[in-house]
Amino acid sequence: MLRFVGKKAKNLIRNSCVLQRLSPFPFQSSSAFLSTFNNNPSSSSDSNSLMAHNYSQSPVTLDTINPKIKKCQYAVRGEIVTLAQNLQQELLQKPGSHPFDEIIYCNIGNPHSLGQQPITFFREVLALCDHPAILDKSETQGLFSADSIERAFQILDQIPSRATGAYSHSQGIKGLRDTIAAGIEVRDGFPANPNDIFLTDGASPAVHMMMQLLISSESDGIFCPIPQYPLYSASIALHGGTLVRYYLDEATGWGLEVSELKNQLEKARSQGTNVRALVVINPGNPTGQVLSEENQREIVEFCKKEGLVLLADEVYQENVYVPDKQFHSFKKVARGMGYGEKDISLVSFQSVSKGYYGECGKRGGYMEVTGFSPEIREQIYKVASVNLCSNISGQILASLVMSPPKVGDESYESYFAEKDGILTSMARRAKTLEAALNSLEGVTCNRAEGAMYLFPCIQLPQKAIKAAEAAHTAPDAFYCHKLLNATGVVVVPGSGFGQVPGTWHFRCTILPQEDRIPAIVERLTKFHKEFMDEFRD
């Protein structure tokens, strides 16, 4: 089981000149780490060094590329996932070569990859829009619901030439933005303007666009929660800004304290950082908390007082699992406080990748941009237009998730059953995994009130921390790699999201299908016991 302390791994550690010591920067990891932990002698480091040799005369080297790219880290798809993919390959080539027969990817919020089924209504409309020739065929009536056929006709009527293969307006098709604005209005009880909506290929490009707008140099800071979803740290690094941390309080269920915001803002300003925006992820990733409305009001007030743009990541708005919490959009909260368009600059990000739909591969989403002057909006539009437009299926899907079937529509009952089945199952999975994690020695796990993850804290024994140091890696990464090698379960070390120094975590999704959960719990429990038996102080 302890393959990574084998002779080859030790030599790799000794010989590698790119190995870093445990970095004080919480998002950094060792670039030689993968090879250290990899079981496959022919993969990774050997072939990498060969490639480095062959390309030594290349006009592009690590020393000549944009340093911002080298600085950027994205742990969710980091080295541990590459290692998992290598193990999967090995299992295919040599069944029985590992103590498990499959890799279970709990590293990323990608529901369909773990067997979640798409919502029928959404897929019917997408299929019909993409192949309108079948709309008038008699067989179509038997295969598709009446409301999906009607919706496809409506959508196609909004698309010039009815062509889903054509570029659209750079903000997205106007009729779809009208539908989304109407959906926001139903959700919030306050009007939304279709001209404020920018349809994007998922929330990620929208976040990049805002970072590009706000960051001119290293002296521009973006306030981010720690732990955070590493899209933010990565995007800030790519655009050359400064990540200004505020810590969520694990002891109060990952609470967001305004006193912490004030302290950190003061500190950043005293160091000459011009803090431009506050990122809030609600429900939280990786932490799973759902903010109370009162807390949201304090945050709005703070942003207004301090002149910060509020970047509200609301992609998990449909993923709330506890009866005592409810999702409220920041726009609804701000408007409820009497703050209008001119009072606060607010961007809300939404995505088709999350919720009960989980259509990550369709790359759809939007940002609702409010409280910016027409000149700034024009600049945002210009940036959007450089990419021409987002993909049309993603645009259609974004309109559908904000305007699903309604009571009385032919699809409503089956749509509701599918949605409810997915969300109630996610809630059960979250509870089962949370209970299992809390039963492990030295592990505490806050409840997942929302989103798709658990983020347990592991009290690692000193002996394990020392062993991690000897392997030149962060202790939580050491734990996660051992877990992967022993069980095939892929989770992400907390150091990829940031954490209070000296604490160790990992992120595990709640997304494997329900019949897989008992096996995961069993593997995890067995592994953890063996790990503690080996390293207990």
Ligand X SMILES: Cc1ncc(COP(=O)(O)O)c(C=O)c1O
The amino acid that residue 123 corresponds to is R
The single residue among 29, 36, 44, 285 that binds ligand X, judged by CB under 6 A, is: 285
Nearer to ligand X, 145 or 319 (CB): 319
User: Quick one: which of 313, 368, 418, 449 contacts ligand X (CB under 6 A)?
Assistant: 313
- Binds ligand X (CB under 6 A): choice among 288, 365, 494, 498: 365
Stretch that binds ligand X, among 144-152, 159-167, 198-206, 239-247 (CB under 6 A): 198-206
User: CB neighbours (10 Å) of residue 66?
Assistant: 10
Q: Which secondary-structure segment (H or E) carries 463?
A: helix 462-470
Q: Are 244 and 223 in contact (CB under 8 A)?
A: yes
Let me know if 60 is exposed, middle or buried by CB neighbors in 10 A (0-12, 13-18, 19+). exposed
Residue nearer to ligand X on the CB measure, 76 or 445:
76
> Considering the complex, what minimum distance in angstroms separates the CB of residue 429 from ligand X?
17
**Cβ 194 to ligand X, closest distance in Å?**
20
Amino acid at 352: V
Q: Which is nearer to ligand X, 360 or 427 (CB)?
A: 360
Give the nearer residue to ligand X in terms of CB position, either 311 or 489.
Answer: 311
- Shortest gap between Cβ of 111 and ligand X (angstroms)? 11
Pick the closer one to ligand X by CB: 355 or 475.
355
Interface with ligand X, residue 319, by CB under 6 A: no
In the shown chain, the binding pattern of residues 99 to 118 toward ligand X, with x for contact by CB under 6 A and - for none, equals ----------x---------
In the complex, what is the shortest distance from the CB of residue 133 to ligand X, in angstroms, rounded to a whole number?
31
User: CA-CA distance, 69 to 62, in Å (whole number)?
Assistant: 10
Q: Does 172 bind ligand X (CB under 6 A)?
A: no
What's the rounded Cα separation, in Å, for the pair 202 and 391? 10
Residue nearest to ligand X (CB): 202
Give whichever of 83 and 281 is closer to ligand X, judged by the CB atom.
281
Of the candidates 155, 128, 147, 154, the residue with the CA atom closest to the CA atom of residue 410: 147
Residue choice 152, 210, 308, 315 for contact with ligand X (CB under 6 A): 315
Residues 380, 142: Cα–Cα separation, whole Å: 45
Contact 256, 293 (CB under 8 A): no
Binding-site member from 351, 370, 393, 473 for ligand X (CB under 6 A): 351
Q: Which stretch binds ligand X (CB under 6 A): 32-40, 142-150, 181-189, 197-205?
A: 197-205
Nearest-10 crossing angle of helices 231-238, 203-214:
40
C-beta of 359 vs 434, nearer to ligand X: 359
Contact assessment for residue 75 and residue 461, using Cβ atoms and an 8 Å cutoff:
no
Measured CA to CA in angstroms, residue 122 lies from 115, 241, 261, 381, 400 at distances of 17, 39, 40, 28, 7
- Listed in sequence order, the residues at least 6 apart from 98 whose beta carbon sits closer than 8 Å to its beta carbon are 39, 87, 90, 91, 485, 488
Per CB under 6 A, contacts with ligand X among 199-238 are: 202-204, 229, 231
Q: What are phi and psi of 256, to 5 degrees?
A: -110, 105
Does residue 317 belong to the site contacting ligand X (CB under 6 A)? no
Residue 490 carries which DSSP code? E
Q: Compute how many residues bind ligand X; rule: CB under 6 A.
A: 14
Task: Please tell me whether residue 495 binds ligand X under the rule CB under 6 A.
Answer: no
Q: Is residue 426 close enough to count as binding ligand X by CB under 6 A?
A: no
Q: How far is the CB of 195 from ligand X (least distance, A)?
A: 22
3-state secondary structure of 197: strand
CA atoms within 13 A on the CB side of 218: 3
Residue ranges of the alpha helices (H) in 67-113? 67-71, 79-93
Beta-carbon neighbour count of residue 90 at 10 Å? 16
Q: Is 254 in the site for ligand X (CB under 6 A)?
A: no
Query: In the bound complex, what is the minimum distance in angstroms from residue 450's beta carbon to ligand X?
Result: 11
Shortest distance, CB of residue 362 to ligand X, whole angstroms?
9
Give 202 or 498: the residue with its C-beta nearer to ligand X: 202
- Residues forming contacts to ligand X in the complex (CB under 6 A) are 109, 202-204, 229, 231, 281, 285, 313, 315, 351, 353, 360, 365
